[in-house]
């Protein structure tokens, strides 16, 4: 097999049940259905966390969040960790990242291995500001819980100064992608696009709002903190989410058309995945923080390789396996020995990045740590409250009824948390070495600007 280009397309926050691939009742995702018809489609793909940052790092590194350590407790990727993007660089590929997602920026370390980066950051996209932002993240991560709750009131202003607005920039993302694809000449490329349209804030064009019956946007949340700051009309939220998913499919069509227009389709592997889904009122929750519901952690995943026949894979697979599958389909790595697994896993730490918004009376419900394990027959969730009280619940996937937790799953849950601390300690050594170098450079730059 000759080397192939790769278009790796993440549809951020797209629920799998809002596509015809996984739900026959859905009629507004024809482009995604066309891709699925020629793809290896994974029926039971599970994300390793319910939000963007740890999931992307898991896909990049092939590690679980408790292994790579990029979680709610540490919101940046240090430069010492290897990613599969480096493998493409080593094979002479041009590597590109296009997204408006604030978690995929130089500020978070997640753009470190790409040749070409478009984050729509403007003047904020420079090394000095990125390092200042990383230092701010490290300081925040090191604060006590009480200090974090107080500091969170000021996070938005600082975050916006060092980062970007939180709009989806869907049109800009598609145009930048089309421009990248039209500029490709004879070199192989790996292009990673995170399309934010299924993510809040929801602002699809008017025709999609009308098509899906959106009448009143006043009680539709713009950000996840709105779960605690406003009344939510979940009926209207679901309508506008469908409008956004519909718009997403049309945006994907534009990107695929660009491959065709530039005669790249037959030599390009297309990976399409949602990094997580979105809670739309399940357990009275909006968004993809504070929950590991299956609507959030069970995701879309398919790989369209022009040299491979289409098929559906029923066994569970982890999104982090894309670390191995992507280079394999590109032709630069041997086929992985193990793709699907009998037991797929993920986790979520105490949500420090939202700690300032959780009301005291709702603390026990929302300030938790989760671990989840899914097999082809059961789904088990372990909840840990701040007082270390634990609750483990297992459900049968076919009936939805609660069942006794299998002993092998109990042992695996114990093993995860036994190893968690040691792995984080090792990463702390790497971080401290990187911190010293960056602190010196930041200090020098600040003094040069007249600050001491």
Q: Whole-model pTM?
A: 0.88
For residue 337, give every residue at least 6 positions away whose Cβ sits within 8 Å of its Cβ, in sequence order, or none. none
- Going along 166-325, which residue ranges are E strands? 189-195, 268-273, 279-280, 286-287, 298-299, 301-304, 311-313, 317-318
CATH code (residue 123):
3.40.720.10
Q: How many domains does the chain have?
A: 1
- Considering only CA atoms, which of 12, 7, 33, 8 is closest in space to residue 274? 12
Residue 423 within any structural domain of the chain:
no
Contact 310, 41 (CB under 8 A): yes
Cβ(168)–Cβ(100) below 8 Å: yes
- Residue 139, pLDDT score: 67
Closest to 11 measured CA to CA, from 95, 84, 99, 76 = 99
Position 46 scores a pLDDT of 98
User: 97 in a domain, yes or no?
Assistant: yes
In a domain, 430, yes or no: no
Residue of 76, 47, 39, 83 whose CA lies nearest to 297: 47
d(CA 46, CA 179): 32
Residues 6+ apart with CB under 8 A from 173: 98, 99, 100, 193, 194, 195, 196, 251
DSSP strand pairing (45-46 vs 317-318) = parallel
- pLDDT at residue 426, as a whole number: 39
Task: Note whether residue 370 is domain-resident.
Answer: no
CA distance to 162, 222, 233, 357, per residue, from 218 (Å):
29, 10, 9, 20
Q: Does residue 334 sit within a domain?
A: yes
- Evaluate whether residue 238 is within a structural domain: yes
* Residue 425: per-residue pLDDT: 37
The pLDDT profile of the chain, 452 residues, written as one tens digit per residue, is 589 999 999 999 999 999 999 999 999 999 999 999 999 999 999 999 999 999 999 999 999 999 999 998 888 898 899 999 999 999 999 999 999 998 998 888 999 999 999 988 765 555 656 666 666 666 666 767 667 666 665 555 555 555 445 578 999 999 999 999 999 988 999 999 999 999 999 999 999 999 999 999 999 999 888 999 899 999 999 999 999 999 999 999 999 999 999 999 999 999 999 999 999 999 999 999 999 999 999 999 999 999 999 999 999 999 999 999 999 999 999 999 999 999 999 999 998 777 778 899 999 999 999 999 999 999 999 999 989 999 999 999 999 999 999 999 999 999 998 876 433 433 444 444 444 444 444 444 444 444 33
| CA pseudo-torsion sign 304, 306, 307, 312 | positive
Asked whether residue 441 is assigned to any structural domain, the reply reads: no
Give a yes or no: residue 171 inside a domain.
Answer: yes
Q: Is residue 280 within 8 Å of residue 241, measured between CB atoms? A: yes
Position 357 scores a pLDDT of: 83
Range of the structural domain that residue 195 is part of: 5-342
């Amino acid at each position: 097999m000759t080397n192939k280009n790769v278009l790796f397309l993440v549809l951020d926050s797209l629920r799998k049940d809002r596509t015809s691939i996984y739900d026959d009742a859905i009629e507004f995702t024809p482009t995604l259905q066309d891709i699925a018809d020629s793809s290896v489609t994974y029926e039971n793909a599970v994300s390793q966390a319910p939000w963007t940052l740890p999931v992307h790092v898991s896909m990049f590194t092939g590690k679980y969040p408790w292994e790579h350590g990029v979680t709610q407790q540490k919101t940046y990727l240090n430069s010492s960790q290897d990613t599969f993007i480096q493998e493409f660089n080593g094979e002479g590929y041009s590597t590109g990242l296009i997204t408006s997602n604030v978690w995929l920026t130089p500020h978070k370390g997640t753009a470190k291995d790409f040749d070409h980066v478009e984050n729509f950051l403007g003047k904020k996209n420079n090394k000095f500001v990125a390092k200042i932002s990383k230092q701010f993240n490290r300081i925040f991560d090191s604060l006590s819980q009480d200090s974090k709750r107080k500091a969170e009131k000021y996070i938005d202003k600082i975050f916006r100064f060092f980062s970007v607005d939180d709009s989806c920039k869907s049109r800009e993302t598609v145009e930048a992608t089309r421009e990248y694809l039209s500029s490709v000449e004879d070199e192989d490329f790996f292009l990673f696009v995170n399309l934010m349209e299924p993510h809040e804030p929801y602002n699809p064009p008017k025709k999609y709002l009308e098509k899906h019956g959106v009448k009143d946007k006043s009680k539709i949340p713009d950000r996840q903190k709105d779960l605690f700051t406003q009344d939510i009309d979940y009926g209207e939220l679901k309508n506008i989410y469908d409008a956004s998913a519909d718009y997403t499919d049309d945006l994907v069509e534009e990107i695929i058309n660009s491959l065709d227009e530039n005669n790249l389709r037959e030599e390009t592997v297309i990976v399409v995945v949602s990094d997580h889904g979105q809670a739309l009122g399940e357990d009275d929750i909006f968004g993809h923080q504070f929950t590991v519901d299956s609507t959030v952690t069970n995701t879309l995943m398919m790989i369209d390789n022009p040299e491979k026949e289409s098929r559906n894979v029923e066994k569970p697979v982890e999104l982090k396996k894309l670390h191995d599958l992507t280079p394999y389909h590109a032709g630069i790595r041997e086929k992985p020995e193990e793709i699907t697994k009998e037991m797929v896993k993920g986790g979520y730490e105490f949500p420090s990045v939202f700690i300032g918004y959780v009301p005291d009376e709702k603390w026990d419900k929302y300030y938790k740590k989760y671990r989840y394990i899914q097999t082809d027959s059961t789904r088990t969730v372990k909840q840990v409250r701040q007082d270390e009280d634990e609750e483990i619940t297992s459900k049968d996937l076919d009936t939805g009824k609660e069942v006794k937790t299998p002993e092998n799953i109990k042992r695996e849950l114990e093993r995860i948390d036994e190893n968690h601390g040691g792995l984080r300690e090792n990463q702390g050594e790497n971080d401290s070495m990187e911190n010293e170098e960056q602190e010196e450079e930041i200090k020098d730059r600040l003094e040069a600007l007249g600050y001491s």
